[in-house]
Structure 1
Amino acid sequence: MVELEELGPPLPPPQASSDAAPPPQPAPPPRFDPSRMIGIIRRKALIKDLAAVYHAECLAYCQELLELQRKWEEPHRNTKTPEDSRKETMRPPKRLKKSC
């Protein structure tokens, strides 16, 4: 049988030599370019115009829906609900309450 050797504390992984290059530095932030601002401003204006058109469309649809809803409710306003017709046909009580 093979004898088990007593193991000491684990050894750290081998270090790379100090000649290895350090990790590359991140690129410096890009310089300010005013021509990019013009593009950003144009895109912002286009988005604003698109939002205005979308909002106007939504308002038009809401107005149309409201008109349709009013037209639909108009003939139904004059019809009586079952509860209303039941109240009209109720009989008076047979015995009147005694008043003191």
Structure 2
Amino acid sequence: MHDLKEIHGNMEKELEKHNVKIEKIYYCPHGWDDGCECRKPKPGMVFQAAREHDLDLSKALFIGDNERDLRAGNAAGCRTLLVDSELSLLKVVKEKIINDKLFIR
């Protein structure tokens, strides 16, 4: 859990440099065999975020770095985007959110 908090903290610090604030970070505290609805690829966390923030998931962009992330986003009805070493979260933020140059289908 410590590693996850460190990753989240680093991500928030990097995005804050570009005046981007993350409202809330969701994560599943359960193990793979616990049978919960929040462990990706199940979309439970996405639905929770939609309820808490009154989000229209058909207009949401779910950004992930693996296939489980994309499956969760798709199951919730979101558009999805896979980030990797060439298309990082920071680049997505700069190009799509800040400059609106990255077009997602």
Query: Shorter-chain TM-score: what band?
Result: under 0.3
Tell me the TM-score normalized by structure 2.
0.18
Which of structures 1 and 2 has the bigger CA Rg?
Answer: 1
As a proportion of its length, which structure holds more helix? 1
